[in-house]
């Protein structure tokens, strides 16, 4: 059976993210859901916070044990000092750092215990649990006035039926009761939803399941879960990315599953466009969340290997506009669209990562879309990020776009081979000014040590004034091995 997988990095450091496949990430950028996705605030100080993975970091001599770094916002943005770096060797965190656990690769924030502080659900989906190889574990790090502290394990309810518990996570209010719920995926197609809150003692209000029409077993199950209110009913909907079961090809496909008073309803599943990374936000300001999905694959050049349907050279994003009935019409955007910067070239991976947020405070969600494989000035795979602005007529591809690389004046660093600048992007307001700032990961920086670059909103546009780069060593991440700091941001 043919399945199309995402782009492969030239190092085993990035393997382990999607069923052992070589890929950048298994979690989406900010979903921009009006129901759940306020800015994360782990310490309750009013400034937006975020968290980035270092899922292959060495901890206590254990290679690829993994860490996650919470970056706390401030009036001057995020810094390397105002943060908490967590591993399974951190006091109060369940378990212990072990080789190949990959703790922190996937995370999702929400106020799960309704105490006014956002918490962070984190997984180590390759952890061996009670003799179950790659059984996986999920835990919640609790927010407090000091930031993230302690943790509680969310036990796997069906250990024998799947592996990789916590392979995917997404938080949202799927039943509209005003409390954050947590959706958890594994190697099977069934998604488990913990509703009505979670407690530090390990309790929860209720647990439900939803089964999208995707493949189960082995490296399959959901590849990504993305939460957002598409139909404007005040309940969070879920987009599930996986491999479809309707054809022998088993193509990567996304499915929309609506929320309801009883939670997610798989009978209402709607097939969407293909692509691994998805975000949800109101691009045109009509009150409905729009689904933006990146399809970054090039058409095949091998006569014996079919292309993923609708593939275009260099990649593209699909903007699926929301409505009261759910997903509506679709517009495709590539580097050949309108005045979008750059040109569509093989291996650009335009749409390989994306994030939504309101950069200029005009009420329209804007889009940061990465082309981490972009070649600039003969430098291969140095990477670049394009910012496109929302408007009443939708995503603006005619004017006003911005384009950032490490060679852009004011951006820290320089264009280097295999930096993959844009391997992760996140728009989120970390300065509490009502405008989203841009954080960009370059996972290949310094031989896959990785880095995260902060580019603030200047009020109307993203600016390089006040820009800074955060290196793994500065945030408490060991550079032994290949930590790949920044590969995933909390969703």
> What pLDDT score does 232 carry?
97
Between CA 423 and CA 25 the distance in angstroms is 8
Q: How much is the pLDDT for 168? A: 97
Integer-rounded Cα Rg, in Å, for the chain is 20
State the Cα–Cα distance between residues 367 and 358, nearest whole angstrom.
8
User: What tokens appear for 187 in the block?
Assistant: 């190697």
Using one digit for the tens of pLDDT, what is the confidence trace for 172-218?
Answer: 999 999 999 999 999 999 999 999 999 999 999 999 999 999 999 88
Q: How large is the average pLDDT for residues 336-358?
A: 97
**Using CA atoms, how far apart are residues 194 and 186, in angstroms rounded to an integer?**
14
pLDDT digit string (tens) for 290-312? 999 999 999 999 988 999 999 99
Per the DSSP assignment, residues forming a β-bridge with 455 are 438
> Rounded to an integer, what distance in angstroms lies between the CA atom of residue 397 and that of residue 369?
12
CA distance 411 to 463: 9
459 has a pLDDT exceeding 50: yes
Q: Give CA–CA dist 188/219, Å, rounded.
A: 9
> Does the structure show a pLDDT above 70 at 143?
yes
* Residue pLDDT, tens place only, 419-452: 999 999 999 999 999 999 999 999 999 999 999 9
Distance CA 222, CA 336 (A): 31
pLDDT higher than 50, residue 35:
no
Q: pLDDT-derived band of residue 21, with 50, 70 and 90 as boundaries? A: very low
Shortest CA distance to 106 belongs to which of 28, 199, 208, 195? Answer: 28
Task: Determine the Cα–Cα distance for residues 55 and 447; give it in Å rounded to an integer.
Answer: 15
Assigned token pair, 65: 């044990």
Q: Which tens digit of pLDDT belongs to each residue from 372-394? A: 999 999 999 999 999 999 999 99
The 10s digit of each residue's pLDDT in 91-127 is 999 999 999 999 999 999 999 999 999 999 999 999 9
pLDDT of residue 140 exceeding 70: yes
CB 51 within 8 A of CB 67: no
Q: How far apart are CA 390 and CA 385, in angstroms?
A: 16
CA distance 268 to 255: 10
Burial 309-346 (b: 16+ CB within 10 A, else e): eebbbbbbbbbbbbeeebbeeebebbbebeebebebbe
Sheet holding 384-388, edge to edge: 350-357, 366-371, 384-388, 402-404
- Say yes or no to pLDDT of 34 above 50: no
Tokens 């908490």 belong to residue: 84
Nearest CA to 280 among 225, 334, 350?
Answer: 225
C-alpha–C-alpha distance, residues 163 and 124, integer Å: 11
Mean pLDDT across the chain, nearest whole number? 92
Give the rounded percent of residues in the chain with a pLDDT score beyond 90.
Answer: 90
Q: Are 52 and 355 in contact (CB under 8 A)?
A: no
418/379 Cα distance (integer angstroms): 8
User: For residue 37, what pLDDT band results from cuts at 50, 70 and 90?
Assistant: low
pLDDT in tens, 147-164: 999 999 999 999 999 999
The pLDDT value recorded for residue 38 is 76
pLDDT over threshold 80, residue 39: yes
What pLDDT shows up at residue 219?
85
- Which of 371, 388, 389 lies closest to 380, judged by CA? 371
| In contact, 231 and 239? CB cutoff 8 Å | no
Burial class (CB in 10 A: 0-12, 13-18, 19+), 144: middle
Residue 368: its H or E element: strand 366-371
Instruction: Reply yes or no on whether the pLDDT at 2 is more than 50.
Output: no
């Amino acid at each position: 059976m043919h399945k199309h997988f995402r782009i492969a990095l030239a190092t085993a450091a990035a393997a382990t993210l999607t069923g052992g496949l070589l890929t950048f990430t298994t979690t989406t950028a900010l979903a921009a859901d009006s129901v759940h996705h306020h800015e994360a605030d782990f310490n309750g100080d009013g400034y937006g916070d975020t968290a980035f993975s270092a899922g292959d970091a060495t901890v206590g001599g254990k290679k690829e044990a993994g860490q996650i770094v919470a970056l706390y916002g401030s009036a001057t943005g995020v810094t390397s000092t105002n943060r908490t770096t967590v591993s399974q060797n951190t006091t109060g965190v369940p378990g212990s750092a072990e080789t190949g656990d990959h703790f922190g690769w996937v995370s999702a924030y929400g106020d799960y215990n309704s105490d006014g502080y956002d918490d962070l659900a984190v997984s180590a989906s390759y952890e061996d649990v009670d003799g179950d190889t790659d059984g996986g574990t999920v835990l919640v790090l609790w927010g407090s006035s000091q930031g993230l502290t302690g943790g509680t394990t969310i036990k796997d309810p069906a250990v024998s039926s799947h592996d990789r518990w916590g392979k995917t996570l997404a938080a949202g209010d799927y039943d509209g009761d005003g409390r954050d719920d947590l959706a958890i995926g594994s190697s099977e197609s069934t998604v488990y939803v913990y509703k009505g809150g979670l407690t530090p003692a390990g309790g929860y209000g209720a647990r439900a399941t939803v089964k999208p029409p995707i493949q189960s077993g082995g490296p399959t199950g959901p590849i990504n879960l993305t939460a957002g209110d598409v139909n404007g009913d005040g309940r969070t909907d879920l987009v599930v990315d996986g491999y479809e079961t309707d054809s022998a090809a088993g193509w990567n496909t996304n499915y929309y599953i609506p929320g309801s008073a009883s939670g997610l309803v798989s009978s209402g599943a709607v097939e969407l466009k293909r692509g691994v990374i998805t975000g949800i936000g109101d691009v045109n300001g009509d009150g409905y969340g729009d689904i933006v999905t990146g399809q970054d694959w090039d058409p095949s050049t091998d006569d014996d290997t079919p292309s993923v349907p609708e593939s275009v050279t260099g990649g593209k994003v699909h903007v699926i506009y929301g409505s009261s009935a759910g997903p509506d019409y679709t517009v495709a955007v590539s580097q050949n669209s309108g005045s979008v910067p750059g040109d569509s070239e093989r291996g650009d991976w335009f749409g390989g990562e994306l994030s939504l947020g309101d950069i200029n405070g005009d009420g329209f969600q804007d889009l940061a879309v990465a082309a981490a494989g972009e070649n600039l000035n003969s430098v291969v795979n140095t990477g670049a990020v394009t910012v496109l602005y929302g408007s009443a007529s939708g995503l603006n591809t005619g004017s006003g776009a911005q384009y950032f690389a490490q060679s852009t004046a004011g951006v820290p660093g320089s264009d280097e081979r295999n930096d993959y600048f844009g391997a992760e992007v996140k728009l989120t307001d970390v300065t509490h000014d009502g405008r989203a700032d841009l954080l960009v990961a370059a996972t290949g920086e310094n031989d896959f040590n990785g880095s995260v670059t902060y580019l603030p909103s200047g009020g109307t546009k993203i600016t390089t004034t006040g820009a800074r780069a955060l290196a793994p060593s500065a945030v408490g991440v060991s550079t032994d091995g290949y930590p790949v700091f920044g590969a995933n941001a909390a969703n």
